[in-house]
Chain A
């Protein structure tokens, strides 16, 4: 157990739908990073939060949004889902230097 908790582990949904992925960082970590992993694109950085504030954006689509709550957990919202959004979604939290990843949410869009 890495200390970073992601739910749900698996999600199957239809095209056009909206889903919410949840992440709780390691105790004491203030930052949360979201990554998308697909077979052909590797690990792509989506967005970063620190203590409730958005701090950096990567290759995040406009259909996707995220937020970090006062208790530091974060949610990634994916809407108008397309088949190409099927991927593993990871969150990570950062302590001093190193990043710790959760076990991911596997999203399948059918």
Chain B
């Protein structure tokens, strides 16, 4: 059972375009939503994250939009560049009953290609 659903699986945009990656979740116990960027042969690296009491967060060209009532969140990349070509994972952190340690649940990933 996929706790975090991510779409699309792949995305191709022209340089300067605004790719949008969408994610949805069901578990209302999730309380932290990070996005990871992964280049080939590298580990996932934290890109930006948001808590559910915030509707939008911007860091540079990356923006997370969060809709708590719909249990959806998305990543927008403004003025995309070829160097942004990577796989992007949305994720959610939840705490299982009785545990003091969070667990990270990943979406399936979106392979983004930005053409020059």
Contact = CB atoms under 8 A, between A and B. Distances in A.
Interface of A: 2, 4, 31, 33, 42-43, 45, 48, 50, 55-56, 90, 92, 94, 97-104, 106
Classify the interface of chain A: helix, strand, loop or mixed: strand
Given A43-B89, A56-B96, A101 B101 contact: no
Contact of B45 (A2, A31, A33, A45): A2
Given A2-B43, A90-B44, A101-B43, A43 B109 contact: yes
Contacts of B36: 101
B28 interface: no
Of the candidates B93, B104, B107, the one having the most CB atoms from chain A within 10 angstroms of its own CB is B104
Contacts of B46: 98-100
Interface of B: 32, 34, 36, 41-46, 49, 89, 93, 96, 99, 101-109
A104 B103 contact: no
Choose among A2, A101, A102 the residue with the greatest number of B CB atoms under 10 Å from its CB.
A101
A56 B97 CA distance: 12
Nearest to A106: B41
A56 B101 contact: yes
A73 to B, nearest CB: 17
A67 to B, nearest CB: 17
Given A42-B107, A100-B46, 4 more contacts: A43-B44, A92-B43, A99-B104, A102-B43
A98 B34 contact: yes
Nearest to B103: A56
Contact of A101 (B32, B45, B99, B105): B45
Nearest to B107: A42
A95 B78 CA distance: 29
B93 A97 contact: yes
B36 to A, nearest CB: 8
Contacts of A98: 34, 46, 49
A8 B115 CA distance: 34
